[in-house]
Structure 1
């Protein structure tokens, strides 16, 4: 089992949002990761998330995510406001073919691009995504596709997320550094708190609407 604390901020928007073309251009040089599907259990709570990544002939990877606290809406850059949250994640591999037997699960297809920033001695710099710095911030752009029910229209949109990692004492500075570097090259971007949410909150709002 792996236990990790993180500091995160995330936004969800569709392709017509003004930010969509801006961030797609910025991530244009970043290679796309292999397409995957994550299954989210509908917990009806925005402070707890449970997801499973099911890959054929591999153990199921599951992650339970607990909200430890929130600073609410924080200004990260000119025109950029998001809900800053502290999470604890517990991850492990399971050999359980009946994992999705109970409950309501939302399958979200993801196509993710990632840029990574290392934070060291008060300085932030972009590094290869394969790098393993002790502290830093990942900035990801993911296209998400899902369908809530057979009767509903498919959801095809985007999510932009910043996730700081490392020792507890560095998390806030690492996220601020990552945001500063990321949004400096996208000065025209505008993202507000109205589209800022975590995955658990987004799933709660979507599944609850069906």
Structure 2
């Protein structure tokens, strides 16, 4: 594989925890309020090498201050992240992340993240396939295959939390402190 074109980002996001898996509210880097709403669930997909789940389609608003009312007694949880962001075309070739999604008509953005939250330290992976709907499954599969053979990600991929779920759903299992 050629030189890696991904980027690394570190930040702390604060998530509203309301025990719903279909809506996510977060303060990205503790500054910009974002809202994500799950639009649909797809059919089960097995990407191989132990990674399988139900693809979800989400819609995001950022900033979302005018869309969300937050009660002062709301529960928030801080999530510290070191994120490795990569972008792949539908054929599994890596594309520089600086290119907009329109530079590649079908593909998949991938985030492998080391996450520290409360007393847990885990690795997570998120895929965001884009392009025509009939090509998204292929984009997911080829992106995962490209990552699975990448020696630089061998340790993080072995340490992944293999339960497929949304961030809001996962954070509800962590047991947040009231802030």
Q: TM-score range by the shorter chain?
A: 0.7 to 0.9
In the alignment, structure 2 segments of 5+ residues that lack a partner are none
Contact 2:88 2:94 in 1 (8 A): yes
Aligned residue number for residue 8 of structure 2: 32
**Secondary structure in 1 matching 2:105:** coil
Asked if 1:47 corresponds to 2:12, the answer is no
Aligned residue number for residue 52 of structure 2: 82
User: How many residues are treated as equivalent by the alignment?
Assistant: 166
TM-score in terms of structure 1 length: 0.65
**Secondary structure in 2 matching 1:179:** helix
Cα-to-partner distance string for 1:139-183 (whole Å, 9 max, x where unaligned): 221111122xxxxxx222211222212233322222122123222
Aligned residue number for residue 132 of structure 2: 167
Asked if 1:181 corresponds to 2:152, the answer is no
Higher share of residues assigned strand: 1
CA distance in 1, matches of 2:30, 2:63: 11
CA distance in 2, matches of 1:92, 1:43: 19
**Secondary structure in 2 matching 1:49:** strand
TM-score in terms of structure 2 length: 0.74
In the alignment, structure 1 segments of 5+ residues that lack a partner are 1-27, 148-153
Residue correspondence of structure 1 range 53-64 to structure 2 within 5 A: 53-55=28-30, 60-64=32-36
CA distance in 2, matches of 1:191, 1:144: 11
Pick closer, same or farther for the CA change 1:55–1:49 going to 2, 3 Å. Answer: closer
**Secondary structure in 2 matching 1:36:** strand
Aligned residue number for residue 165 of structure 2: 197
Cα-to-partner distance string for 1:85-143 (whole Å, 9 max, x where unaligned): 222222121568x9573411111111111121022xxx331111112223211222111
Asked if 1:107 corresponds to 2:78, the answer is yes
Pick closer, same or farther for the CA change 1:61–1:166 going to 2, 3 Å. Answer: farther
**Secondary structure in 2 matching 1:206:** coil
Pick closer, same or farther for the CA change 1:178–1:101 going to 2, 3 Å. Answer: same
